[in-house]
Every structure is written in C-alpha cells, then in structure tokens.
A and B are shown apart, each in its own frame.
Chain A
C-alpha cells in the first residue's frame, strides 16, 4: 500500500466530525438559544456543535502528525458485508411490514447468510427454517410479541 503523509482514518473521521458540528450549529439556529440563565432548547446542542467541530479539526491535525497515529493501518470496509447485511435487515423490515414475521425471518437469514462465502445454499435454507421455527416458538408463543406471522394471518 502506498504510504500517505496522513492517517486516512483521522482525516476522514475528523472531516465527518467537523461536518456534524457545523450541521448541528446551523440546524440548531432554528431553535431558541436563550440566555445562559434561561437556556433555550438550542443552547446545549449548539454549544456541543461548536465543540464537535473543534474536535474534528483536532482529529484532522492528529492525522498529520505521524507520532500520534493510531496503531495498525486502516482496513478497507467490506462492501459485501455492508450491502448484504443492510439488504437482509431491509428485507426483514419490508417483509415484516407487508407479509409477516415468518417471511421476514426467511428473507433475513437467506440474504444475510449469503454474505459469508462459507455458507452453502443448503445450509442457509436449513438455517433459515431452523431460525424461523425457533424464533416463532420463542418470541410469538413464549414471549407473546405482537407480530403477524403470515400474510394471511391477522
């Protein structure tokens, strides 16, 4: 890997903190600031926003001082994990909304299961059935959580 003059973790993280701080200060101006004696709803968040932005700058600065770098190097995020896991949870939400708990669990485990390359279609299907059966028994029957099971149940 090419050597950089800065630690990308600190620079990216610092920029994000800076952005969050600035956004908070701008967004917080909608709310009444009040006085130090009678603080309005905007006072505390705006104060934090300034601190957050300042810390963001400090973290960026830290990233340019080699001596202050964190240990190790930045690991690249796994796109497969991000897309797969987010997709599986999104499928759980959508299927849960429109179809019911059982389809939601099957969607979650099947989509989520494929993220790991070691899983075979057969093991994923068996796992999905197992989790669905156990999950319904535990949460719907034993703990009584309200969640319709199938599209045709209510």
Chain B
C-alpha cells in the first residue's frame, strides 16, 4: 500500500480534464444503463470507440465511469420497471419493484445507491490493499500457471453463470477460435482470414462486442417491447427519497455482509456481480428472522445484493489489472481496451504505470461519489427518459453503434463485421447460447495460446508441467471440480413434478 502513489493518483484524477472525463463517463454510463435491456457490456462496447481519441489515463477513467454508471443506472430500471438491464440486477427487482409499487420508489432507489456506494468504497479499499499482494504472488506465476488461471476463469464463468453450462463452454471455445483469426504472432502466418486483408489484424474487439451485445439486442427487442411501461413516476421528489432512521440502522449489517460476499467473489476468476448478488440475497433471506418479507419490498433485499455486486465490480479489477486475467466479460472488454492503448496489464503494470494504476483507483472513488451526487437530483429525469418508447430509441442506438465501430479504424468493413456478429448474437439468443462467455474466450484466446506455447516450450513438450507446478495443479483441479459439479447437478434426478412436465 502506497500512500504517496495514491495521493499522486488523486492529483492526476482531480485535474480538470480527468474530472471531466469521469463526469462524462458516469453520466453517459448512467443514461445508457437506465435504458431497459442495455447493461454495462453494451454501454461500454458502444462507447469504447469514443474514448480512443483520449490519452490512456483519461480513457480508462471514462470507461470505468461508464461501467459503474451503467451499474447504478441498471438498478433504477430494475426498481421502476421490473426489467433488469443486467443479470446482476435481477435480484434487485425482487424487492425493489414491490417497494416501488407500494409508493416508495424513491426510497428503493436511494437504498440501492447508498448500498452500492458503501459496497464500492469498501471494494476500492480492498483493491488498494490487496493489489500489491497479488502483484507479488503473480511474479511467481509461470506460463503454465497463467494458462491454468485463464482456463479456470473461462470454465467458472461458463458453469456458474445463467444458462446451460455445456452450451456456455461451447461458446468459450467458439470465442477462442474467433480470437485465433488473424496473424499468428510467433510465425506471422495468416490464419482463417479467408484472404481478406482487413482480417489480418484479427477481428476487431469493438465489432465483436457491439455486434453481440448492441445489434443483437436491437434485433431481439424491435417490434417486441411496445411503448413504455412506466407508470408516471410519483414520489421521486428529493424529500420522499430518504429512508427512515430505523431503516438506515437496519440495513447497515446487510450492506456489510453483502460487501464481504461481493468482494471475495469479485476477486475470484469467473465469478462476478451476478453470482455475488444472488448469493448475498439468498444469505440474507436465510439468516432473516422474517424471511416471509422477502419479495414484498424488504429493504435488506435491495441493500445486500446491491452492495454485493458493486463491491464485486470493484474487486474484479484486481485480477484484471495485476494478472491480466479478466474474470468476466466486462473486465475482458476493459482488458481489451487497455491492450488497444498499448498497455499490457499484469504484475508489472502497477509498477510500470503507477500514474495510470493509482489515478484509476482515485477515479473510482471520485466517480462513485459523483454518481451518488448526480443520481439523486437526476432520478426524475431518468424516469422521464424511460417514457421514451423503444421504437424511437433503437434507430439512434443503431447509428451510435455504426459510427462507433467505424471510427476505430475509419473502416466500414468493421461495421459490416459488427452486423455479422449482431446476427450471430441474435441466432445465439434464439438457440439459447450465452454471448458473454464467447466474448471472454475471444479476449483471452490469444493470451491463452501464447502461454500454452511458452509453457510447452519451457517444459520441452512435456504436458506434466501443468500438474507439477502447485499453482497450476490447484487451479486445474478446481476446473475439473467445477466441470464435475456441473455435470452432476445437470444429471442428478430432479423433483418428480419438474421431471414429468
């Protein structure tokens, strides 16, 4: 832990320019996050190109702002409309929406923001103290260990998230294959480019992400979600937002418990905010003296999961920045963005770029504070935006995607590529395949291949290196255990009423 660096980081983050980027990021992220059906992934992929003109620090600050801006915004939509923008807010709907229906939408939104803020703050502190240890540990990582770590991340992300584990693992493989398109770094061989020169640099990250999450979303929602569902927002005035003092006291412990669960799951590869929020909700319900209140507007049913998923959102940066191994698809996008800026995250990153690393941490704090300050007066505005029908919104979204993808390389070819990935994502949606594991596999593919080749070269072609090194052996054992567990839980006999169906 390095206070000088942190202070220097605040110095950079608080410059007029970076403060502006942070403000812009959280504002736009919040705005996009509020729109139903658009989560942080779509928000970051659509706005990623906009940040490419900035210098890396400013761009990262803005991207991080978009990320948690979208997180906060998603909670608002869950509470007001009962539509979770992202899976990690699905739990917030359970008690947030009933509370809104009882005429207290303001209190529900305030509770979610307050718990998110506390969760995020604690998450940042953990990140500050824990990162140096991770850096030290990471220096003893060999290529085999990195490979095993990424394998664990990919397997955990596909077996623990929603949907069929088998199909998600298949999507990871497809993602790894898509990542292999382009020029092989070690031999210069063009692979799977079909002779198209635009593909020799590989398939553009932004085209993949905006296609899978932006265009696919438009394809799935157009003509389906009619009009707006929001009943005119009442009780969103500032005065009606504050919980009672008893409620404040009542939610402190759930917030802290949620934060703890979230912080741990955020650090682990492959587990992110979604699992954290579900787990902390289940935990609160289990230890509650009155579990019957859950689902009917229990305030701790909002506080614990929201604190949990924001703590996880912060601690997820630890493995991403110090190991270069992203835990989920959002972090994979962040990692991809860093690499585009010419920064290779890993154990040397905090030491080589202390200015970026610490100003990013400082900006997390500033951004979260800005969000709380901004969100309270803006709730009324967000509620009005939710009244704009989707049929007006999607052509503009489509345009943002097209121009955004174009602007990265000034290439209309990439726009076509994004459209192709949009169709792929729509097809996957219909066939019940999850897009997030694909994106994660795509980003990790080249790294995994490199580490695999290096590990095998060092071991002179002997694969037993993966089980001889303790770190790699442990991680791979966890992979096997996860696969075994998901096979077992899929095949075990279900209760008769479900099996008959």
**Interface residues, chain A, CB within 8 Å of chain B?**
9-10, 12-13, 17, 20, 24, 27-28, 31-32, 35-45, 48-49, 51-52, 55-56, 58-59, 62, 66-68, 70, 74-78, 80-82, 84-86, 88-90, 92-93, 96-97, 101, 104-105, 108-109, 112-113, 115-119, 123-124, 127-128, 131, 135, 139, 143-147
A112 B398 Cβ-Cβ under 8 A: yes
| In contact, B461 and A37 (Cβ under 8 angstroms) | yes
Whole-angstrom distance from the CB of B194 to the nearest CB of chain A? 9
Decide: A55 and B222 in contact? CB cutoff 8 A: no
CB contacts (< 8 Å) of B480 on chain A: these are: none
Would you call A41 and B431 a contact (CB within 8 A)?
A: no
Which of A48, A76, A112 is B176 in contact with, Cβ under 8 Å? A48
Residue among A56, A62, A82 making CB contact with B426, cutoff 8 Å: A82
Contact of A62 among B166, B177, B399 (CB under 8 A): B166
> Mind listing 6 A-B residue pairs with CB under 8 Å?
A24-B192, A55-B169, A70-B432, A89-B416, A89-B418, A147-B403
The 8 Å CB contact of A127, one of B169, B184, B395, is B395
Interface residues on B, range: 35 or more
Please measure, in the bound complex, the distance between the C-alpha atom of A58 and the C-alpha atom of B170, giving whole angstroms: 10
How far, in Å, is B410 (CB) from chain A's closest CB?
6
The B173-220 residues at the A interface (CB cut-off 8 A) are 173-174, 176-177, 180, 184, 186-187, 189, 191-192, 215, 218-220
Does B73 have its Cβ within 8 Å of any Cβ on chain A? no
Q: Which candidate, B87-95, B345-353, B379-387, B451-459, is the interface stretch facing chain A? A: B451-459
Query: Which residues of the partner chain B approach A96 to less than 8 Å between Cβ atoms?
Result: 406, 412, 415
Q: B120-138 CB contact bits vs A (8 Å, 1 = yes)?
A: 0000000000000000000
Report Cα–Cα, A68/B163, bound state, in Å.
11
| A147 and B406 alpha carbons, distance in the complex (Å) | 9
| B180 in contact with A44 (CB, 8 Å) | yes
Once bound together, how far apart are the Cα atoms of A67 and B166, in whole Å? 14
Neighbouring A residues of B174 by C-beta, 8 Å: 17, 20, 52
Contact yes or no, B422 A13, CB < 8 A = no
Q: Does B244 contact A (CB under 8 A)?
A: no
Residues of B within 8 A of A52 (CB): 170, 173-174, 177
Nearest-Cβ distance from residue B354 to partner chain A, whole angstroms: 30
Is A118 in contact with B389, judged by CB distance below 8 angstroms?
yes
In the bound complex, what is the Cα–Cα distance between A127 and B164 (angstroms)? 40
Say whether A9 contacts B170, CB under 8 Å. no
The 3 closest A-B pairs by CB, nearest first: A37-B461, A41-B184, A41-B189
Q: Bound state CA distance, A131 and B397, in angstroms?
A: 10
- Whether A39 lies near B456 (C-beta < 8 A) is yes
Proximity bits, B219-251, A CB within 8 Å = 1, else 0:
110110011000000000000000000000000
**Minimum CB–CB distance for A36 against chain B, Å:** 4
User: Given that A77-B426, A135-B403, A146-B410 are contacting pairs, would A82 and B180 also be in contact in the complex, using a CB cutoff of 8 Å?
Assistant: no
Residue pair B163, A70 in contact (C-beta under 8 Å): yes
Q: Could you tell me the distance in whole angstroms from the C-beta of B457 to the nearest C-beta in chain A?
A: 6
Which chain A positions have C-beta within 8 A of B218? 85
B223 near A89 with CB under 8 A, answer no
| Interface core residue of A13, A51, A131, A147 (most chain B CB under 10 Å) | A13
Cβ-defined contact, B394 with A112, below 8 A? yes
CB of B431 within 8 A of CB of A12, answer: yes
Whether a CB of chain A sits under 8 angstroms from the CB of B287 is: no
In the complex, chain B residues whose CB is within 8 Å of the CB of A74: 430-432
Given contacts A52-B170, A70-B164, A74-B431, contact A86 B423 (CB under 8 A): yes
Contact yes or no, B398 A86, CB < 8 A = no
User: Which B residues are in CB contact (< 8 Å) with A128?
Assistant: 395
Check A85–B187 contact: CB distance below 8 A.
no
**Structural contact, A108 and B395, CB atoms closer than 8 A:** yes
How far, in angstroms, from A115 to B373 measured CA to CA in the complex? 39
Decide if B499 touches A67 in the complex (CB within 8 Å).
Answer: yes
B173, B192, B390, B410: the one contacting A51 at CB < 8 Å is B173
Closest CB-CB distance, B225 to chain A, in whole Å? 10
| A37 contact set on B, CB distance < 8 A | 456-457, 460-461
Tell me, in angstroms, the Cα distance from A67 to B494 when the chains sit together. 8
Give the residues from 8 to 31 in chain B that come closer than 8 angstroms, CB to CB, to chain A. Answer: none
CB neighbours of B456 from chain A (8 A): 36-37, 39
Residues on B with beta carbons closer than 8 Å to the beta carbon of A39: 452-453, 456
What is the distance, in angstroms, from A51's C-beta to the closest C-beta of chain B? Answer: 5
When distances are taken between beta carbons in the complex, the residues of chain A under 8 Å from B176 are 48
> Is there an interface contact between A105 and B399, defined as CB atoms closer than 8 Å?
yes
A9 touches B432 (CB 8 A): yes
With beta carbons under 8 angstroms apart, the residue of A35, A66, A77, A97 that contacts B430 is A77
Q: Contact at B394–A82, with CB atoms within 8 Å?
A: no
**Across the interface, do A108 and B398 meet the contact criterion of CB distance under 8 Å?**
yes
Q: Is B342 an interface residue (CB 8 A)?
A: no
Contact A77–B402 (Cβ < 8 Å): no
Closest B residue by C-beta to A144: B53
Q: How far is the CB of B433 from chain A (nearest CB, A)?
A: 6
Residue pair B173, A13 in contact (C-beta under 8 Å): no
**Known contacts A40-B187, A82-B426, A135 near B167 by CB under 8 Å:** no
Knowing that A90-B416, A116-B394 touch, tell me 8 more A-B residue pairs with CB under 8 angstroms. A31-B184, A56-B170, A92-B402, A93-B412, A96-B412, A112-B398, A115-B223, A124-B395
